[in-house]
Amino acid sequence: MPAESPAVAPLREFIRALPKAETHLHMEGACPFELLQRADPVRHARPPVFWEESFKYTSFNQFMDLYVAYCGEFFTSAERYHDAARIVLATCAAQGCRYVETSFHLPTLLSMKDTGPEVIRAIKAAAPRGLELRVFAGMCHDTYQGAGKDLVDDALSWPELDGIDLHGCEDLPLEPWTGEVWARARRAGKFTKAHAGEFMGAGFMERILDELGVTRIEHGIRSVESQATLARLRREGIALDVCPLSNVKLAVSGIRSMADHPIRRLFDAGITVTVSSDDPFFLNNTLTQEYEALHRDLGFSRSELVRVAENSLRVALVPEHVRGAWLNELADVAVRTAVAE
């Protein structure tokens, strides 16, 4: 008998104690309901229908319509982004996040008097002490036209901006400007990533890799449909920022419940996967619940959850000494709290 056997923490406490990163989080989709209620108490007197346990979106368009209906009129200033980010980031930190990568929808700026740099600084000023935050500009397949084109070109020169992300309706055509802008962003020192393989298949992921040159894909779950794409992700060390509960609620590619989710197969195939909450206001989920669901529904052991947390720290955009300190801390927590499976 060892003199002292480490305690086995309850699962939720174990997950909270893991230093980890949330790398796929839309600020508008994380909008705290209390802020919407404060802004319009009559309209938001009741909890949203999409918070009901059994609620499923019928399509991505319905999801986007609700996005606009609930949040379209909220994000009208840098101050509003700041107020939302303060609550959202405190919630992340309380769940053990050391790093958050959040995006805001760039075209929102087209109808706002505050500038992009002001909005980004407002979001960054909301980060609690000890939380590393990177802010990305999200744009859609059809953003680069009219005033949107000038905005994208301008954004690449903002020192406050850490990266860009392609989001929105995945089945709109991938236009030729995208690859050129993604390459230009990297030359300007920005990190680039893109949503793919959520609604479109592995072939579209291959196009995103070829044409945009990204090394991280948001979702990317439909890569399981192609052994060649899986081999490529492994060979090129492409990481997938997966949001399992989001995929269930949006009924992506026939996923009706967590038991159907391919993240187990991706993980077992040696792909670098992380988990994130995507749009916690619209999905009624938390990062903790994402980890819990991996354990409960897909049989991820505690040491496998540690590996998922480790993946998230490995993709974080931080200096190596910061990552090293987090990884040491993660190893300590794993030993102290995860002895029994």
Residues 255-284 that bind Zn ion (CB under 5 A): 278
Q: Which is nearer to ligand ADE, 246 or 312 (CB)?
A: 246
Q: Smallest distance, Å, CB 293 to ligand ADE?
A: 17
Q: Which is nearer to ligand ADE, 127 or 221 (CB)?
A: 221
Closest CA to 89 of 287, 242, 266: 287
Q: Which two tokens stand for residue 338?
A: 């995860």
SS3 per residue for 286-313: CHHHHHHHHHHHHCCCHHHHHHHHHHHH
The pairing of beta strand 163-166 with beta strand 191-196: parallel
Q: Print the binding letters for residues 215-254 with ligand ADE: x by CB under 6 A, - otherwise.
A: -------------------------------x--------
- Strand (E) or helix (H) holding 153: helix 147-155
- Residue closest to ligand ADE (Cβ): 167
Q: Which is nearer to ligand ADE, 142 or 304 (CB)?
A: 142
Give the distance, in angstroms, between the CA of residue 130 and the centroid of all CA atoms in the same chain: 20
Catalytic residue status for 198: yes
User: N- to C-terminal Cα distance for the chain?
Assistant: 18
Q: Smallest distance, Å, CB 24 to ligand ADE?
A: 9
Closest CA to 326 of 15, 1, 19, 9: 19
Residues 21-40 that bind ligand ADE (CB under 6 A): 26, 29
Which residue out of 198, 218, 292, 310 is catalytically annotated?
Answer: 198
Q: Smallest distance, Å, CB 172 to ligand ADE?
A: 11
DSSP state letters, 205-245 = HHHHHHHH--SEEEE-GGGGG-HHHHHHHHHHT-EEEE-HH
Q: Is 167 in the site for ligand ADE (CB under 6 A)?
A: yes
Q: Print the binding letters for residues 76-115 with ligand ADE: x by CB under 6 A, - otherwise.
A: ----------------------------------------
Q: Which is nearer to ligand ADE, 101 or 279 (CB)?
A: 279
Catalytic residues, which ones?
198
